[in-house]
């Protein structure tokens, strides 16, 4: 729903155009990326620039991550100051990264420990479809979290 506070972590080839689509749709968007150039680019278009993963989680009702590989996903979701460590009860955490089942299960368990909801939601379609908003998203997780996201 437009106006919902959404956080987006990972502004790579897929994440940046996805984040732009959320901003254009009217979401209150807070972003973080390890390289600041892309953060500043989308901040100039109206997104809020966060200085840390923790800040994104604190500022958001729904947190989306689109990360490049398993090790980055595990560090960002499961790290000491990562997404799960800062999650709140009822918050929805969505992982668009392509990771294995073991990583998704670990992220889901960490979210559940905090009373948050985890959606494993890998994407298909490439950068052009990300830019035009026609990606295919295959989501798995609690039905109520899916409806909220």
CATH no., domain 5-148:
3.40.50.720
Ranges of each domain in the chain: 5-148
Distance CA 36, CA 20 (A): 16
Spatial CA neighbour of 108 closest among 69, 75, 142, 80: 142
pTM reported for the whole predicted model: 0.94
Q: What is the pLDDT of residues 10-68, one digit of tens each?
A: 999 999 999 999 999 999 999 999 999 999 999 999 999 999 999 999 999 999 999 99
Which H or E run includes 108?
A: helix 101-113
Query: What is the rounded (10 degree) CA torsion for 41, 27, 91, 53?
Result: 10
Structure confidence by residue, pLDDT tens digits, 14-29:
999 999 999 999 999 9
Tell me how crowded residue 138 is: count the other CB atoms within 10 A of its CB: 9
């Amino acid at each position: 729903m437009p106006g919902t506070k959404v956080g987006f972590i990972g502004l790579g080839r897929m994440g940046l155009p996805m984040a732009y689509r959320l901003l254009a749709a009217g979401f209150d968007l807070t972003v973080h990326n390890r390289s600041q150039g892309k953060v500043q680019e989308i901040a100039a278009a109206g997104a809020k620039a966060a200085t840390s993963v923790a800040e994104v989680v604190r500022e958001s009702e729904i947190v989306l991550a689109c990360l490049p590989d398993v090790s980055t996903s595990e560090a960002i979701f499961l790290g000491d100051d990562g997404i799960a460590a800062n999650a709140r009860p009822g918050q929805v955490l969505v992982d668009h990264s392509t990771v294995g089942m073991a990583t998704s299960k670990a992220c889901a368990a960490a979210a559940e420990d905090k009373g948050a909801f985890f959606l494993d939601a890998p994407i298909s379609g490439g950068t052009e479809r990300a830019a035009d908003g026609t990606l295919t998203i295959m989501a798995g997780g609690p039905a109520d979290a899916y409806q909220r996201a």
